[in-house]
Structure 1
Amino acid sequence: MELASAAPHAATTGLDVVVSSVASDSHTWNLIFLQLLLEELGHRVTNLGACVPDQLLVEHCRDRRPDLVVISSVNGHGAVDGRRVVARLRAEPELAGLPVVIGGKLGISGAGNRRHVSGLLQAGFDAVFDDSTGLGAFHSFVGALPTGRPRLPGAERRSGARELAGARDLSGALALTAAGAGS
């Protein structure tokens, strides 16, 4: 009964969020965890699943105009695949301002994966969350995005998301294994 009463509230106040992996990542547990987390926070989630081709993500976002895209990778190729997919999203004028974040295992260098953060931000992500810490920064970023707002032109939405969350300074993570999920 609580779920039924929460649904109308989420429909009017939460964000429309797309959760996706990168094209090379076949893991699903991380995507399910993120979907459940975001839904519990009151957002509506479309989970595109594993091994999502770049063009499918672009077309889905162009057709549905979500408020946020969350890309998660645990196979160690997040930095490489992430740069490519965010370039495709940003190349679409109507998606240029869409807040897009990436998190998880961004490379195969353990603690050295932090070196990918600045490059991914420069490539067009609004925030990057490596796998070295908890979910606090991710919660803060999502919580800072406005809900129930009219759609703004691309560039205005994107710069607003960066300013709201201080995304360039985020060093938080989507440390999904800390939440008890397995690979």
Structure 2
Amino acid sequence: MEQGKVEKSALEVVVTTMASDSHTWNLVFLQLLLEELGHRVTNLGACVPDELIVAECRRIEPDLIVLSSVNGHGYQEGLRVISALRARPELRRTPTVIGGKLGIAGSNDPGRPQALLAAGFDGVFEEGGSVEEFRTFVRALHSGVLL
């Protein structure tokens, strides 16, 4: 480390799917991507009930929560999960993002990202979007720009 520079500690990140999503390859990809960026990742796995997501996030106290969807129900389930997370005072300000296949009709619904942001998400990364956009978000969070 260069003299005079302070190295920021790694982010503690929770990566998960939602209750109806049984896919895991997306979680492995996200975990590896985040670890490559130098962060610690807790991967909750597939088909995670809302209550377990909330309980684990309360226990871990992450710096970032990443919800991933492959089955196309991310929008509906994401609205429910963000409501449960934001209902907990200790998780109200935890940066939380959602991404993947958020609807069964693809990513051509321009109102969907705005609705998810209005519901409490800090970032929405739909399928077909750039992985670099997600990396940029994480780097900004880590540098304190989004805090």
Match status 1:85 vs 2:95: no
Which range moved further: 114-123 or 34-43? Answer: 114-123
Q: Is the 8 A contact 1:106 1:113 kept in 2?
A: no
Q: Give the gaps of 5 or more residues in structure 1.
A: 1-11, 150-159, 165-183
| TM score, norm. by length of structure 2 | 0.90
Cα distance, 1:115 vs structure 2: 3.0
Match status 1:16 vs 2:16: no
Q: 129, 139, 142: which one pairs with 1:146?
A: 142
Q: Give the gaps of 5 or more residues in structure 2.
A: 1-7
What do the CA deviations read for 1:76-110 (whole angstroms, capped 9, x no partner)?
00000000000000000111000000000000112
Distance 1:110 1:33 in 2: 21
DSSP 3-state at the match of 1:26: coil
Q: Is the 8 A contact 2:34 2:40 kept in 1?
A: yes
Match status 1:131 vs 2:116: no
Distance 1:113 1:33 in 2: 25
Distance 2:81 2:107 in 1: 24
Q: 18, 21, 36: which one pairs with 1:40?
A: 36
Q: How does 1:60-75 map to 2 (within 5 A)?
A: 60-75=56-71
Percent identity between the two aligned chains = 59
Distance 1:91 1:113 in 2: 27
Number of aligned positions between the proteins: 140
Question: Hey, what does 2:72 align to over in structure 1?
Answer: 76
The residue type equivalent to 2:29 in the other structure is: F
Structure number having the greater helix percentage: 1
The residue type equivalent to 1:65 in the other structure is: E
Question: Hey, what does 1:98 align to over in structure 2?
Answer: 94
Question: Hey, what does 1:29 align to over in structure 2?
Answer: 25
Distance 2:28 2:109 in 1: 23
DSSP 3-state at the match of 1:110: coil
Distance 2:103 2:21 in 1: 12
Distance 2:107 2:56 in 1: 33
Question: Hey, what does 2:4 align to over in structure 1?
Answer: none
Distance 1:99 1:53 in 2: 20
Aligned CA distance change for structure 1 residues 20 and 57 (closer, same or farther; 3 Å): same
What is the RMSD computed on CA atoms of the aligned residues? 1.6
